[in-house]
Structure 1
Amino acid sequence: MHVSPSDAPRVPRHVSSLRAKLLIALAGDPTGMAPYVRAIADGDDAGYFVENGPAWTVHAGMGTLVAGIRALLLQALHPGALAGVHDWSRYREDPIGRLTGTVRWVITLTYGSKTQADQETARVGRFHQRVKGTYRGGDGTERTYTAEQTDLVRWVHLAFTDAFLASHEAYGGTIPGGPDAYVADWATAGRLMRVVDPPTTRAALRAELDGFVERGALRRDERVDDVVRFLRRPPFRGTMGLAYRVLFAAAVATIPPHLRRLLGVRRWPLPVVTATRLILKTTERALGSGPRAQDMARLRLRRLAEQR
């Protein structure tokens, strides 16, 4: 049975309110059915990623809430990538908008048709064409950057892939085919963003991340400290604010020690894994059973199967 928007189960008012807040943060819509999510049911092809495959599984897991924070922390370590965010992003004025924009890209590529995914990639690409400026590299020299620069795009892809893989391994379930299958699957997204020969195994992914460190391409400065401070305590209030603090600690706990030292963050001495699993389970209950992006994708896939 497939869930349609009108079939969404009713939940108690206090949970519904929390659900609406979570869905606004994640999908930009209190129902979770933003126009781009509804559009996933349309389209005339199966998309880039196999139903219930590695990318579908990882990106549907609650560990993505931890992964998003972890990816932003790691991306901040590359001074070129950070300069682009600092100079062009409105993450301080509109952190929810920045978050939902990233979520839209991930969800569309993972569950949408190839046509929809290509349109979303082009939308992001048009914005990236405007992103350019200067930054001080890891060796202290001043350099120019564009959002399409090879090493910057590569670092963002590596940081994203590693964040979602590590977070799912720590706080999610199993991955069909294992970790290597997810890295290979999500390499498709890297190619769509013009990453040349992205890694296709976990070992290759980790080796490339370490290579950036060994080459001195990463650095910590006042901008990194500023981003860390903001990510540690963004403007979330009440229950969401408390839960977010735990998720931030959970993200830090999955980062290797040498990168934690570079970021200037430390692990909580408290049982963060237990607290995180409790929060993720509570969040999962608050969100309910659907409808979700993958439900919309299944509607498209069933329709296409019936048309054959």
Structure 2
Amino acid sequence: MAAPPSSPAEQLRLAIARGVVGFFNDGTKGQQPIVPAADSLCPKGGVAWRVHADVAGMMVGGVAALLWQMLHPKALAGVWDHSDFQRNMHGRLRNTARFIAVTTYGARQEAEAAIARVRRIHDHVNGTLADGAPYDANDPRLLTFVHIAGSAMFLAGYRRFVEPRMSQQDRDTYWREVAIIAEKLGADPVPRSEAEADLLARDFLLELSADERSRTVRDIILNAPTEQLRLLPVQRLLMRSAVDLLPPEVRRLHGLRGSGITRPTTRAATFGLASTLRWALAPRKKEA
């Protein structure tokens, strides 16, 4: 039975829920949580719906994905040259989270409109690397890399904090379900199984590198000031967990270490945070 509305437990739950909604939705723009639709791009009630519904796994996975993506010189150049990430890291993470939400759960028309907006933005994100090589945010292969890094880390976050024994069938289904989003963004090739994604990820390792700019972005991501000081311990926990989630090769390129002997403590604390968030955001039955 749900806790009484005036109980301390219910007040705490509502405060956490409001904080999460505020973190992921820009109140100044009138944003509200995405309402799940029957005609969503990802199948209603499917594996992608399950994976993307876990807030802790998506937060940790999202940070890990961004760290991974910034090791590709072309992805890094697009962010460095054409965004305000240095002043608004929270805004970038929030926009990414909202895009994932609308393309996973939103009505097809709403999702396709969001994808069209991203593609229009990408039309202006291009330039030249220091070595003279051109880059273009609409490059199908670059979009494939961004898709793989993001989806792999979201899936890894879910498995770590929710379903460690997730079946191979469900993992492959996840890749099939999110493929439509990558395709509509213009990615090519698009993996439709974990094996295909892993093979492509290994190929992309040869294209990754670290330099002064990637180290700058790494430090901005991991040390971005929280909007509310009381959230600082939570932010540090999420960042440590994101570093642990990264593939070892990616972590080494960034010059980062896993949390070592504190890793069990980090995992236990993040499990506790994940459980608290699920409790706070779980639908409540109405009292008779």
TM-score (normalised: structure 1): 0.80
Cα distance in 2 for partners of 1:56, 1:191 equals: 18
Aligned to 1:103, the other structure's residue is in SS state: helix
Aligned: 1:92 with 2:92: no
Retained in 2: the 8 A contact 1:36–1:108? no
Look up the match of 2:76. 82
**Which segment is superposed worse, 200-209 or 17-26?**
17-26
Give 2:217's aligned amino acid: V
**Which segment is superposed worse, 12-21 or 151-160?**
12-21
Deviations 1:199-226 (A, max 9, x none): 111111111111111xx31110011111
Over the aligned positions, Cα root-mean-square deviation in angstroms equals 2.4
Specify whether residues 28 and 285 from structure 1 end up closer, same or farther in structure 2 by C-alpha distance, changes over 3 A only.
farther
Q: Could you tell me which of 34, 37, 47 is aligned with 1:37?
A: 34
Look up the match of 1:19. 17
Retained in 2: the 8 A contact 1:260–1:266? yes
Aligned: 1:122 with 2:112: no
Equivalences, count: 271
Q: Could you tell me which of 158, 165, 169 is aligned with 2:155?
A: 165
Aligned to 2:138, the other structure's residue is in SS state: coil
Deviation of 1:288 (Å): 4.9
Aligned to 2:34, the other structure's residue is in SS state: helix
Look up the match of 1:154. 144
Aligned to 1:119, the other structure's residue is in SS state: helix
Cα distance in 2 for partners of 1:128, 1:208 equals: 23
| Percentage of identical aligned residues | 30
Look up the match of 2:209. 219
Give 2:211's aligned amino acid: D
TM-score (normalised: structure 2): 0.86
Deviations 1:167-198 (A, max 9, x none): 11111226584211111111111111111231
**Which segment is superposed worse, 177-186 or 52-61?**
177-186
Cα distance in 2 for partners of 1:65, 1:119 equals: 24
Deviations 1:127-185 (A, max 9, x none): 1111112224xxxx321111101222111011111111111111122658421111111
1:260-299 equivalence runs, <5 A: 260-269=251-260, 270=262, 271=264, 272-289=266-283
Give 2:106's aligned amino acid: G
Aligned to 1:218, the other structure's residue is in SS state: coil
Deviation of 1:256 (Å): 2.1
Deviation of 1:95 (Å): 2.1
Q: Could you tell me which of 200, 207, 222 is aligned with 1:208?
A: 200
**Highest RCO, 1 vs 2 (Cα 8 Å, sep ≥ 6):** 1
Look up the match of 2:178. 186
